[in-house]
Amino acid sequence: MNWTKKNTVLIQATTGVTYQGCKKEGFQAFHPYKQGGTLLRIVREICFRIPFLPKTCWYNKEFLNIEAKYFLIWDPLITRHYIEWIHKKYPDAQINFKYANMVGNARHLLPAQIPKYVRVWTYDSYDSEKYGINLYKSHMYFPSDVKPLKEPVCDIFFVGRDKGRGDWLVELEKKLNQIGIITNFIITANGKFSERKPYYKEEIDYSAVTDCLSESRAVLNVVMENQRGITVRDAEALFFGIKLITTNKYIKDWELYDPNNIFVLDNETDLQTLKEFLNKPVHKTDKILLDKHTVAGMIDEITN
């Protein structure tokens, strides 16, 4: 049996862009837990940490009337007990556990803690090799988020949290501006209680991000140490039809790599060559490649 929108359940512990995008495109997406305020979440987390307290009373049971054959579970906030509960309710279903971040860079189950009957996936080849887990080569994006391109108001757009790269980004922006490259860098704090730096800006919602993408010639992606996989910035460039500048040297190993559209940046880069790259036309991406990076394309790859 192949997956369909009727027999496939997506479990995501967030109301963010991914969850909303999946719902918008007709997929059955659910929160793993009952929703409430901050106090309710604190009580739930306490219950999860004390062995003898009940856990299933916190689980969202809205999808239990679906004849599900496939589950795709995003890693944030998921516990082993939750996975075992899903398996008990649907013993014949294929359960896929998907890391949305690098393993160890967030609070989540480590691969060794996940039951053996679960198919475990990562988008990053470094983590795939290190932990011996499955690698998927797509990064889903939502065509409904794409906006028509306008006359560019900047050459390079960056948006993201500091994550230890803020000072480097500020220096890069100065160098780019000195050679006449117009930038729009939105560097935000790592969290509510993190140290504030003078160059931090307020976070913007994703609709504002897509507005900026539609008015930019290129988007900049600065990856974390050891990161090799495709991220949302790469997918945005692909779907918007703009250029990508990235510090991920492994991007050349991926099918989406096109030297006309993607520039690999490092500390040895002559920024004049970057300026020349920006002045060249963008090569159009084949629809077959775009389809691989949709929700359906990702589910095809993972379930098969």
Q: Tell me, what CATH number does 273's domain have? A: 3.40.50.2000
Domain that holds residue 191: 143-285
CATH number, domain with residue 103: 3.40.50
169/268 same-domain check = yes
- The answer as to whether 113 is a domain residue is yes
Instruction: Report d(CA 178, CA 243) in Å as an integer.
Output: 21
88/166 same-domain check = no
More confident residue, 193 or 240: 240
Instruction: Report d(CA 227, CA 212) in Å as an integer.
Output: 25
Q: What percent of the chain has pLDDT over 90?
A: 77
pTM above 0.85, yes or no: yes
User: In the predicted model, what is the mean pLDDT of residues 71-85?
Assistant: 94
Residue-wise pLDDT for 127-175, tens only, equals: 999 999 999 988 889 999 999 999 999 999 999 999 999 999 999 999 9
More confident residue, 49 or 277: 277
The reported pLDDT for the residue numbered 77 is: 86
69/160 same-domain check = no
> How many domains is the chain built from?
2
Which residue, of 135, 155, 174, is where some domain finishes?
135
Task: Flag whether pLDDT at 106 surpasses 70.
Answer: no
Please give the sequence-ordered ranges of beta strands (E in DSSP) within the chain, or none if there are none: 8-11, 28-30, 70-74, 94-98, 119-122, 134-135, 154-161, 183-188, 216-221, 243-246, 262-264
- The answer as to whether 45 is a domain residue is yes
168/68 same-domain check = no
157/125 same-domain check = no
Task: Flag whether pLDDT at 192 surpasses 80.
Answer: no
The reported pLDDT for the residue numbered 226 is: 85
188/59 same-domain check = no
148/270 same-domain check = yes
The reported pLDDT for the residue numbered 12 is: 93
Contact 78, 32 (CB under 8 A): yes
119/235 same-domain check = no
Which residue, of 108, 135, 162, is where some domain finishes?
135
User: In the predicted model, what is the mean pLDDT of residues 105-117?
Assistant: 87
Alpha helices in the chain (DSSP H): 17-24, 38-49, 80-89, 125-131, 166-178, 206-214, 232-240, 271-278, 287-292, 295-303
Instruction: Report d(CA 54, CA 48) in Å as an integer.
Output: 8
Which distant-in-sequence residues (6+ apart) come within 8 Å of 190 by Cβ? 161, 162, 163
195/248 same-domain check = yes
- Angle ∠(68,300,225) on CA atoms, nearest 5: 110
- The answer as to whether 297 is a domain residue is no
58/100 same-domain check = yes
Joined tokens for residue 41? 């979440």
User: In the predicted model, what is the mean pLDDT of residues 180-190?
Assistant: 95
**Cα separations (Å) of 73 from 36, 60, 121, 243?**
21, 13, 10, 31
- The answer as to whether 78 is a domain residue is yes
What is the chain's percent helix, strand, coil content, to nearest 5?
A: 35, 15, 45
